[in-house]
Chain A
Amino acid sequence: MAKYLLLKHYRGAPAAVKDVPMDQWTPDEVDAHVRFMHDWVARLEGTGEFVDAQALSPEGVWVRSDSGGRPPVTDGPFAETKDLIAGWMVIDVDSYERAIELAGELSAAPGAGGEPIHEWLEVRPFLAAPSTITE
């Protein structure tokens, strides 16, 4: 088994095929999208492949420590920052192919007009613990 992160971006990913802001959908289309996400998670819980799903607020700040023991510097959100993560799913699957297959399904979540959004999701393998037998 291997864990994969399916990463959804608010910003920074190439534009989705069906790129319409959600507040321009109809309320029924919003409902259908939310239901699809619930069902997708429920199905992966059923197959024993689900690990975690989280959504992030788009509002955040950047922090770094300052020299001389001064309080940390906070700023942002930086408007020019290219990437903005919206949330993620973590799955635990048997193969890379399975991870790609599931990401493909998730990308086809229904959007405006009930059409699949075909948004870009980033798939990243977790760096796991070293295996026992290496030779």
Chain B
Amino acid sequence: MSPVELRELVPRVLSVLVRRGADFATAEDAVQEALIRALSAWEADPPSDPEGWLITVSWRAFLDMARADTARRDREDRLGSEPPTGSVPSADDTLRLYFLCAHPDLTPSSAVALTLRAVGGLTTRQIAQAYLVPESTMAQRISRAKRIVGGVGFDRPGDVGTVMRVLYLVFNEGYSGAVDLAAEAIRLARQLATVADDPEVDGLLALMLLHHARRRSRTRPDGGIVPLAEQDRSRWDTGLIAEGVAILQAALARDRLGEYQVQAAIAALHADAPRFEDTDWVQILEWYDELLRFADTPITRLNRAVAVGEADGAPAGLAALAEVEEGIPRRDAVAAHLHERNGDLELAARLYAAAARNAPNLAERDHQTREAARLNQLLRTRDHKS
């Protein structure tokens, strides 16, 4: 059994413990304990019934923890040491677990950490490595989060919107080393889609799959960014694209549109173009107009200005950009691109340099510096000739 298959069992096992009367916070610690034991023990000696093994070991770990905590002695007596029978986890339990871990009382970073541990089955160390913080910091973040949701009843209804935002955050964090957060977000979105009846969840899953399909072509071997127009489309994962498109089409057919479905539709139109020149920008622009209805944010307007520039020409794009407030991340980069296409290379070069200064990450900064360098080189050659 692979570590991923093992982690698939975590929400079910946790649900069983909670159904048996264990409090969520201690049960979650107990499952984590069992998981860490399984990771080392199973390689040499895999059990015939992995879920049963995990439930037994988690339950014992829970009893040990409850016993060690003298303040909880009363409850320990009440629970006894024999597990009650008849507690079978259901799809609803998994969904409730998602709701609890993405509870609106949690900060986004806490909800992300708790979801990755209690639903995703990642260890605290793995989550800490993925987010580049000390393990003790991540452990504190998770135990604080558990204290906050500790008083929330397991059977309380939740909002699938908060869960989707958490998974979107995990996906967007991408890949930062030991744990592939994008792949993990996709796995959790898949699982969520099987237990939640909401076309927006399918839209989110399709969005992730369609972006993940382009991953290999998005970065150079040295980590540099390859913009969409220059990506080697033969390296896109056609299997993931086909799956994403199929999921999206089924979701759209249910006629309950939302922002994730719209974003997925835009990603699908990009995926559908064999070459950048073949991109159906007119249709993409229509989807951006649709997206504004759901999420009228400066980022949406900025991305829409790019689509306007491609669909109706650089001057129209610049006019659309004028409506986007200053100071938005990547605004200078978009302005530079539109001015370059409009033939104003001097201004474009200055804007690329500004975009490099304001870049939110190193890869983006290097990319914008390279763009500025490219235009300045072009200008030097041109001046030389004239």
Of residues 23 through 54 on chain A, the ones whose CB sits less than 8 Å from some CB of chain B are: 23-27, 29-31, 34-35, 38
A26 touching B366, Cβ below 8 Å: no
Distance A30 CA – B371 CA, assembled complex (angstroms): 10
With an 8 A cutoff between CB atoms, is B251 at the interface?
no
Question: With A30-B369, A31-B370, A58-B357 as given contacts, are A24 and B222 in contact (CB-CB < 8 Å)?
Answer: no
A11 to chain B, nearest CB (A): 12
Specify which of A23, A38, A55, A58 is in contact with B373 (CB 8 Å cutoff). A23
A23 touching B223, Cβ below 8 Å: no
Chain B residues, Cβ within 8 Å of A15: none
A9 to chain B, nearest CB (A): 15
With an 8 A cutoff between CB atoms, is A2 at the interface?
no
B386 to chain A, nearest CB (A): 19
Of residues 336 through 363 on chain B, the ones whose CB sits less than 8 Å from some CB of chain A are: 349, 352-353, 356-360, 362
Specify which of B224, B349, B373 is in contact with A25 (CB 8 Å cutoff). B373
With an 8 A cutoff between CB atoms, is A16 at the interface?
no
B358 touching A26, Cβ below 8 Å: no
Interface size class of B (residues with CB under 8 A): 20 to 34
A23 touching B222, Cβ below 8 Å: no
Question: With A34-B222, A38-B222, A38-B223 as given contacts, are A24 and B373 in contact (CB-CB < 8 Å)?
Answer: yes
- A residues touching B (Cβ–Cβ < 8 Å)? 21-27, 29-31, 34-35, 38, 55, 57-59
Question: Can you spell out 15 A-B residue pairs with CB atoms less than 8 angstroms apart?
Answer: A22-B369, A23-B349, A23-B353, A23-B369, A23-B373, A23-B376, A26-B373, A26-B377, A29-B373, A34-B224, A35-B222, A57-B357, A57-B359, A57-B360, A59-B357
Q: A22-B373, A23-B356 are in contact. List 14 more A-B contacts (CB 8 A).
A: A22-B369, A23-B352, A23-B369, A23-B372, A29-B373, A30-B369, A30-B370, A30-B373, A31-B370, A34-B222, A34-B366, A38-B223, A55-B365, A59-B358
